[in-house]
Amino acid sequence: MSRLGKKPVAVLDGVKVNVDNYLITVEGPKGKLEFQHRPEVNVAVDDDGKSVTVSRDTEERTARELHGLTRAVISNMIFGVKEGYEKRLEVVGVGYLCAIQGKELQLRVGFANELKKQIPDGLDVSCPDQTHVVVRGCDKQKVGQFAAEVRSLRKPEPYKGKGIRYQGEQIKLKAGKSAT
């Protein structure tokens, strides 16, 4: 039996969880999220609405895999609609900068042209200054995916460390050819 999957997920104050057939709906102050779970696992909300339990009928491999996964997704959804998720990015390099214009994130990161990235619905992207990007939202997957896509536009290079990186990320710099 999955150790994490057995634990019930506590529902935070101000969050409503509804299970209808295979559709889980979580609603809170930051937004509303839906998740279609697989039929190998069973999801039930307690009568008082204070916890959600995930169980499985069989001991097949896919059922065991999905047991803990489904519980983790539900836990992330409950936390997301209550508190929200945030990723911070830094733009490092001489002349490198970022800005928000409408529903686009504009980046000048050393290429001949300016890079533009559409901001998906459900995310709040801001630039407190020209070298930082803050991505916020209630869906953990969307926040992480958008931050990873922005970072992949210009990954930090290993010689000077220029590029887009997560805040606090350590880049291992290589010595140049003159180091030998």
**Domain residue extents for the chain:** 3-82, 85-171
Task: Say if residue 143's pLDDT is above 60.
Answer: yes
Cβ–Cβ under 8 Å, residues 164 and 178: no
In the CATH scheme, what is the homologous superfamily, with its name and number, of domain 3-82?
Ribosomal protein L6 (3.90.930.12)
Contact 171, 161 (CB under 8 A): yes
Tens of pLDDT, residues 66-118? 999 999 999 999 999 999 999 999 999 999 999 999 999 999 999 999 999 99
Q: Do domains 3-82 and 85-171 have the same CATH topology?
A: yes
Q: DSSP string covering 94-159, please?
A: TT-EEEEETTEEEEESSSSS-EEEEPPTTEEEE-SSTTEEEEEES-HHHHHHHHHHHHHHSPPPTT
Class of domain 85-171: alpha beta
The pLDDT tens digits of the residues spanning 14-28 come to 999 999 989 999 999
pLDDT level of residue 2 (50, 70, 90 thresholds) = low
Give the model's pLDDT for residue 127: 95
pTM for the complete prediction? 0.90
CB neighbours of 11 closer than 8 A, spacing ≥ 6? 17, 45, 49, 50, 51, 52, 78
Averaged over 160-173, what is the pLDDT?
93
